[in-house]
Homo-oligomer: A and B are copies of this chain.
Amino acid sequence: MAERTHVTLQDVARAAAVSPATASRVLNGTAKVRDDLRERVQDAAGRLAYAPNAHAQALAGASRPTVGVICHDVSDPYFAVIARGIMRVAGDNGLLVMLASTFRDADREVAYVSMLRAQRAPAILLIGSGFEDKTWERSLAAELGPYLRGGGRVAVVSRHRSLRVDSVLPENRAGAAALANALLEMGHRRFAVLAGPRALTTVADRIAGFRSALAGAGVPLSEEDIVECGFTRDGGYAGMSSLIDRGMRATCVFAVTDVMAIGALTALRDKGLSVPGDVSVAGFDDIPIVRDLTPPLTTVALPLEQLGEQAMELALRENSGRRSRIVRVEGRVVIRESTGRVRS
């Protein structure tokens, strides 16, 4: 019952009757070693179930290729799909990926970045809109800055630009505007919006785009038409419910994310309203599940997996210039059955 007693390279070397240097060379294939010695080392390593100490390896110069990805919640399909894109590219480049969820807790986010920095991870990817919270951004920047200066790579997806790092940014404004125009074309004139926290830049941008397109058609969107609710399925459910309860007059509801739209659809069903008969619903993101809803959701399709791929590639490719790179990604309006023409 040996507690915390690890087999070291020394042990292997001793068992194989060679020097640690030779053992290291064999185990890493760093240099040619005489056949019999090599076999003795491999044998000993196997017999002793030797596992190199990554900390010692890292300290001695060899870097272990594990990149870190930090998001708000891995159980949100939006992140999950992006993460998959990241992992694809990482895998192609022989990198392992580890994910962390912050649950929108600034301290936890900083803790993860700090840990990744301390571990000398070759790259850190941040997914998801940050609050426009100066303190938050500052403490994050305080970690990220030195990390970058130390040779680390950072890329973010869909985060506010105040962090001056390479980023992949969805065209939230334009996408929401295009959606608004499509809905206008169907004859809708009275809208309601299920918004997540307005402080989230993603939310703010989508609302702004939506509103400006409406304004272009002379259709107003007042603050009362916007319900600020949780950025989740339950938030969408609650928001939609309260909208119905206070006598909604809108013919179309825009939920700023698909996840929220899902909650909205269920709320409507529970209240006995039909979609799109009584009210049309549209979302944003095009997460995979929305195709399986009844009715399938009209939304703005973001190439989510690509967002992740681009971010990983950004982190992989060295930035030669001094400015941070920005990749803009467009959304595409996808009309499905959750929206319909307004009966005249």
A residues with CB within 8 A of B: 2-7, 49, 51-59, 64, 66, 68, 73-75, 77, 80-81, 83-84, 87, 91, 96-101, 103, 108, 111-112, 114-115, 117-120, 142-143, 145-147, 149-151, 233, 262-263, 265-266, 269, 288-289, 291-294
Contact = CB atoms under 8 A, between A and B. Distances in A.
Which applies to chain A's interface (DSSP): helix, strand, loop or mixed? helix
Contact of A96 (B52, B77, B111, B147): B111
A149 B145 CA distance: 40
B98 A54 contact: no
A55 B119 contact: yes
B75 A118 contact: no
A143 B101 CA distance: 27
A288 B233 contact: yes
Contact of A3 (B4, B91, B151): B151
A75 B64 contact: no
Nearest to A76: B80
A49 B138 CA distance: 13
Nearest to A91: B108
Contacts of A84: 73, 75, 101
A108 B233 CA distance: 33
B74 A77 contact: no
A64 B55 CA distance: 11
Given A53-B59, A68-B98, A98-B100, 7 more contacts: A2-B149, A51-B147, A55-B119, A56-B59, A75-B77, A87-B103, A98-B98
Nearest to A114: B51
A114 B54 CA distance: 10
A227 B292 CA distance: 21
A117 B75 contact: no
A117 B52 CA distance: 9
A239 to B, nearest CB: 15
Given A75-B84, A98-B68, A49 B145 contact: yes
